[in-house]
């Protein structure tokens, strides 16, 4: 049998999902179920003078209306679970419903529970809230200025935290022949999974058990947090998140809404459902990015990078969402040097409160911003010293023989062959020929650009000891149970919580490969705290490198025991048994063998087990990685700009990624495609815009441009394989690389295309009018 590890097996979850047989939270219907709707603030900053809910309560079909003061002391507060050390972090109380003040448009003010969604929605219009509108601040730098409105009265200057990493880079700047200084803006993005957030709660008053079906990337983390918020002990609280329609980070946080649904179900003794609508999603679900970054790069005229100084002001929104403080600090601030050998580096980050929707992780989370800054700086540096951007990269990429490589920011990059990936991308692109073609086309008045992004990312979160050291309020190991049933079929329980990434398939491949059994014989169970001991969920491209390795280890423990039983059955010493192709064989004696399934059956019958071996065949593993993983690669984007209208066309996109051994090339390619699309989305189209009153003016798909398939050419993808040396499978994460790499590749490409117009930088998103304003009435040189 050909190995299933490395095979492009079709996603096993797809038939279920595409035939409408998935079971998303909103699909759940329970007898007697009620529906909740949440009244949200129309103002970005206002004092609540009074709330009158009587008319809403009197609407036929309304069962209950709860305000902030009704739930105070019974629900919440909503916690922040990543507290970077030595940052002076302030976590002002985050009530589940606003009590005295609303702090952003979308802030919850009251919850209606009714017999139908329609009645609940109608009742919202009957609630009368008297607001005293207060001055608003939406820009994080303005929020830090003297005299700015305070989002939280007890947080002076609106500074939520101030964090630093690295040493003093002054020596680099003293030696520098060239210093590049530049300011970058990372516009705010709105994560938009196809499925909005939803929750269904059912409380059993007899047993005191609460079940909460919820759109979560990490149900066990939600259990820990909601247990505290609701005062329900963990063994009485079951969180279920099996089919989740995408998350991209916005389903990591613990929100007030889901807690309120559980509270209402307990209070009213009936199941309660709440499903966010898309408009609500734009306002009330966490956003991503939104930072201003000042960078300084010290270098020599021969192209050597010497030092990097980065200062970021990050817009955290009105409250610190669950994992939010970790994003601009640990996930951005520690990897600003990218794949380059830069001896000195320092990062400084201010996290700032504003009257906007809270930000948190969004695919890539911090790493896209870091990659953007260093990749744009690399191009600016190249231009300044008159070098080809590829040559600058080649000169500074960390050489393959220097791994593991410790950066000046304290990370140890595990393994890499950065030059190898770059060379492969150069070959695929036929770079030298393309540069010549570019020159020829310019002469004809056509503007083609070639943009590069060589990246490394930190993922596979992560070693728990490090998690603690960087202020993550949890572990980052992962659990797996591999249970072999008497008939030889296998159930795998994982503490990760895939929600579109395809691990029901890839995890089955890992186990099928190890046991030499058909993939159909393996079932992967995830997303239910009653079925899975413990786990930390799916984010930070950790599912396969951490959860997958936990499964491999558990599977090997099963095999270890099976081998003992097989040796006993074959009447030889354990050392004389080898396991290949699903068969335990006596070495050197062809034909003396026993099938995996027969050994399994004996383990359960237990009629004749070797001494000291217990019946049954299952194993559990709690795998705590010794390091993060550092996938890397080289992406190149070729664009053409129409100088007459400013429209940008993507002509080619080449992605060479290295995530170690590939378990399923089709799924990996899918992850790269999706990631690249989202990365390009930031470069060209997406951008959440607030007006000065704190109103989100891009609050629907009519204004907020999501990438669409027709915007793209066929992507050209390839891989190099450099295993992670510290985990059994050697795998690295691939879920975010596309998003991390793509954005600067596109911007570098468009800037390159417009070089004849004297362009050195462009602010994202690169909307056509911005380009037109540059090219209009200007002669190319």
Partner 1 sequence: MIPSAFAYERAQSVRDAVRLLESHQGEAKILSGGHSLIPLLKLRLTSPSVLIDIGGLSELRGISAGEDQVVVGALTTHAEVANSPVIKEKLPLLAEAARQIGDLQVRNRGTVGGSLAHADPASDLPAVALALDAVLTLEGPDGRNEIPIGDFILGPLLTALGGSDVVVSISFPIPKGRWKGAYEKYPHPASGYAVVGVAAVLAVDGGGLIREARVGITGAADTPYRAREVEAALIGKPADEETIRQAAEQADAEGSFSGDLFASADYRRHLCKVYARRALARALP
Q: Residue numbers of the site for partner 1 (CB under 8 A)? A: 117-118, 121-122, 277-279, 644-645, 647, 684-685, 689, 697-698, 701-706, 708, 711, 767-769, 772, 776
Return the number of the residue (349 or 742) whose C-beta is nearest partner 1: 742
CA atoms within 13 A on the CB side of 772: 7
Question: Coil, strand, or helix at residue 696?
Answer: strand
Q: Would you tell me how many other CB atoms lie within 10 Å of the CB of residue 719?
A: 21
**Shortest distance in whole angstroms from residue 201 CB to partner 1:** 20
Answer yes or no: are the C-beta atoms of 573 and 567 closer than 8 Å.
yes
Return the number of the residue (299 or 699) whose C-beta is nearest partner 1: 699
Return the number of the residue (206 or 777) whose C-beta is nearest partner 1: 777
**Shortest distance in whole angstroms from residue 711 CB to partner 1:** 8
Return the number of the residue (2 or 702) whose C-beta is nearest partner 1: 702
Q: How far is the C-alpha of 447 from the C-alpha of 453, rounded, in Å?
A: 20
- The torsion angles phi and psi of 405, rounded to 5 degrees, stand at -120, 125
**Shortest distance in whole angstroms from residue 36 CB to partner 1:** 13
**Shortest distance in whole angstroms from residue 125 CB to partner 1:** 8
- The torsion angles phi and psi of 291, rounded to 5 degrees, stand at -140, 155
Question: Coil, strand, or helix at residue 26?
Answer: helix
**Shortest distance in whole angstroms from residue 642 CB to partner 1:** 9
Query: Helices 418-429 and 389-396: crossing angle, nearest 10°?
Result: 160
**Shortest distance in whole angstroms from residue 112 CB to partner 1:** 12
- Report H helices in 405-484: 418-429, 431-443, 464-469
**Shortest distance in whole angstroms from residue 117 CB to partner 1:** 6
Beta bridge partners of 201: 212, 272
E-strand stretches of 190-261? 198-204, 209-214, 237-240
Return the number of the residue (469 or 697) whose C-beta is nearest partner 1: 697
Question: Coil, strand, or helix at residue 711?
Answer: helix
- Which strand (E) or helix (H) includes residue 227? helix 219-230
Return the number of the residue (347 or 743) whose C-beta is nearest partner 1: 743
**Shortest distance in whole angstroms from residue 706 CB to partner 1:** 7
Q: How far is the C-alpha of 116 from the C-alpha of 119, rounded, in Å?
A: 5
Cα dist from 56 to 75, 101, 115, 276, whole Å:
22, 21, 13, 20
Q: Which pair of tokens denotes residue 480?
A: 């797996």
Return the number of the residue (61 or 756) whose C-beta is nearest partner 1: 61
Q: Which pair of tokens denotes residue 625?
A: 């990685």
Residue 674's closest CA among 662, 697, 657, 698?
Answer: 657
Q: Would you tell me how many other CB atoms lie within 10 Å of the CB of residue 615?
A: 12
Cα dist from 637 to 386, 429, 564, 653, 713, whole Å:
21, 9, 54, 5, 11
Q: Would you tell me how many other CB atoms lie within 10 Å of the CB of residue 295?
A: 22
The owner of tokens 């192709």 is 581
Return the number of the residue (55 or 279) whose C-beta is nearest partner 1: 279
Q: Which pair of tokens denotes residue 613?
A: 């071996």
Return the number of the residue (626 or 697) whose C-beta is nearest partner 1: 697
In the chain, the N- to C-terminal Cα span, in Å, equals: 62
**Shortest distance in whole angstroms from residue 694 CB to partner 1:** 16
Determine the Cα angle at 18 with ends 13 and 21, to 5°. 75
Return the number of the residue (710 or 781) whose C-beta is nearest partner 1: 710
Question: Coil, strand, or helix at residue 589?
Answer: coil
**Shortest distance in whole angstroms from residue 187 CB to partner 1:** 13
**Shortest distance in whole angstroms from residue 701 CB to partner 1:** 6
- Report H helices in 632-764: 665-684, 737-753
**Shortest distance in whole angstroms from residue 279 CB to partner 1:** 6
Q: Would you tell me how many other CB atoms lie within 10 Å of the CB of residue 606?
A: 12
**Shortest distance in whole angstroms from residue 193 CB to partner 1:** 16
Return the number of the residue (130 or 647) whose C-beta is nearest partner 1: 647
Return the number of the residue (240 or 684) whose C-beta is nearest partner 1: 684
- DSSP string covering 529-585: TTTSS----S-TT-IIIIIIHHHHHHHHHHHHHHHHHHHHHHTS-GGGEEEETTEEE
Tally the residues of the chain: 781
Answer yes or no: are the C-beta atoms of 764 and 183 closer than 8 Å.
no
**If phi over 0 gives left and psi between -120 and 50 gives alpha, with beta otherwise, what is residue 738?**
alpha
- The torsion angles phi and psi of 752, rounded to 5 degrees, stand at -65, -40
**Shortest distance in whole angstroms from residue 670 CB to partner 1:** 22
**Shortest distance in whole angstroms from residue 484 CB to partner 1:** 46
- Which strand (E) or helix (H) includes residue 367? helix 367-385
Q: How far is the C-alpha of 47 from the C-alpha of 544, rounded, in Å?
A: 47
Return the number of the residue (161 or 704) whose C-beta is nearest partner 1: 704
**Shortest distance in whole angstroms from residue 769 CB to partner 1:** 5
Return the number of the residue (278 or 778) whose C-beta is nearest partner 1: 278
Return the number of the residue (192 or 218) whose C-beta is nearest partner 1: 192
Return the number of the residue (100 or 703) whose C-beta is nearest partner 1: 703
């Amino acid at each position: 049998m050909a190995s299933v590890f490395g095979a492009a097996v079709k996603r096993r979850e797809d038939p279920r999902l595409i035939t409408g047989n998935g079971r998303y939270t909103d699909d759940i219907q329970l007898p007697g179920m009620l529906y909740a709707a949440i009244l949200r603030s129309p103002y970005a900053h206002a004092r609540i003078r009074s709330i009158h809910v009587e008319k809403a309560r009197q609407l036929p079909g309304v069962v209950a209306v709860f305000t902030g003061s009704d739930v105070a002391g019974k629900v919440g507060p909503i916690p922040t679970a990543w507290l970077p050390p030595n940052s002076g972090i302030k976590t002002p109380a985050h009530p589940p419903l606003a009590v005295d003040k609303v702090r952003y448009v979308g802030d919850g003010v009251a919850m209606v529970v009714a017999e139908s969604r329609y009645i609940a929605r109608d009742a919202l219009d009957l609630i009368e809230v008297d607001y005293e509108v207060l001055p608003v601040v939406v820009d994080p730098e303005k929020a830090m200025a003297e005299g700015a409105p305070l989002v939280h009265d007890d947080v002076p200057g609106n500074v939520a935290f101030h964090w630093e990493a690295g040493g003093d880079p002054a020596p680099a700047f003293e030696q520098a022949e060239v210093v590049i200084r530049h300011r970058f803006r990372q516009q705010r993005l709105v994560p938009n999974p196809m499925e909005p957030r939803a929750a269904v709660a059912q409380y059993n008053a007899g047993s005191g058990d609460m079940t909460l079906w919820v759109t979560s990337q990490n149900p066990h983390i939600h259990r820990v947090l909601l247990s505290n918020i609701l005062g329900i002990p963990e063994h009485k609280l079951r969180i279920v998140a099996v089919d989740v329609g995408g998350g991209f980070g916005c389903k990591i946080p613990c929100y007030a809404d889901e807690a309120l649904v559980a509270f209402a179900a307990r209070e009213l003794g009936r199941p309660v459902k709440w499903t966010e609508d898309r408009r609500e999603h734009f306002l009330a679900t966490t956003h991503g990015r939104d930072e201003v970054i000042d960078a300084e790069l010290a270098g020599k005229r021969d192209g050597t990078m010497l030092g990097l100084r980065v200062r970021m002001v990050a817009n955290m929104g009105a409250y610190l969402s669950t994992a939010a403080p970790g994003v601009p600090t640990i996930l951005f601030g520690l990897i600003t040097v990218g794949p380059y050998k830069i001896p000195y580096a320092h990062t400084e980050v201010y996290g700032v409160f504003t009257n906007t929707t809270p930000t948190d992780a969004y695919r890539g989370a911090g790493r896209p911003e870091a990659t953007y800054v260093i990749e744009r700086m690399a191009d600016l540096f190249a231009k300044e010293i008159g070098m080809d951007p590829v040559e600058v990269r080649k000169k500074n990429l960390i050489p393959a023989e220097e791994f593991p490589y410790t950066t000046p920011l304290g990370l140890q990059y595990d393994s890499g062959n950065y030059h190898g990936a770059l060379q492969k991308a150069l070959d695929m692109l036929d770079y030298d020929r393309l540069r010549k073609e570019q020159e020829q086309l310019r002469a004809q008045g056509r503007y083609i650009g070639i943009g590069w992004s060589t990246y490394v990312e930190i993922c596979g979160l992560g070693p728990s000891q490090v998690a603690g050291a960087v202020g993550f309020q949890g572990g980052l190991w992962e659990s797996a149970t591999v249970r072999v049933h008497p008939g030889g079929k296998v159930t795998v329980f994982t503490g990760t919580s895939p929600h579109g990434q395809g691990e029901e398939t890839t995890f089955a491949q890992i186990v099928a490969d190890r046991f030499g059994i058909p993939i159909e014989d393996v079932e992967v169970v995830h997303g239910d705290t009653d079925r899975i001991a413990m786990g930390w969920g799916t984010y930070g491209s950790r599912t396969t490198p951490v959860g997958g390795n936990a499964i491999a280890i558990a599977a090997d423990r099963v095999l270890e025991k099976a081998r003992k039983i097989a040796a006993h059955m074959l009447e030889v010493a354990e050392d004389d048994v080898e396991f290949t192709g699903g068969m335990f064989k006596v070495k050197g004696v062809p034909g003396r063998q026993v099938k995996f399934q027969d050994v399994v059956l004996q383990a359960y019958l237990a009629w004749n087990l070797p001494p000291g071996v217990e019946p049954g065949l299952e194993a559990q593993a709690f795998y705590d990685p010794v390091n993060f993983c550092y996938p890397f690669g080289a992406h190149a984007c070729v664009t053409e700009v129409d100088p007459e209208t400013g429209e940008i066309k993507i002509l080619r996109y080449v992605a060479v990624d290295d995530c170690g051994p590939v378990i399923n090339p089709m799924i990996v390619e899918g992850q790269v495609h999706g990631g690249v699309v989202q990365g390009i989305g930031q470069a060209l189209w997406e951008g959440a815009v607030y007006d000065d009153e704190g109103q989100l003016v891009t609050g629907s798909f009519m204004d907020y441009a999501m990438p669409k398939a027709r915007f793209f050419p066929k992507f050209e993808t390839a891989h190099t394989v450099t295993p992670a040396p510290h985990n059994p499978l050697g795998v690295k994460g691939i879920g975010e690389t596309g998003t991390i790499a793509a954005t600067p590749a596109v911007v570098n490409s468009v800037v390159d295309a417009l070089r004849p117009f004297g362009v050195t930088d462009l602010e994202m998103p690169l909307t056509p009018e911005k380009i037109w304003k540059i090219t209009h009435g200007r002669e190319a040189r």
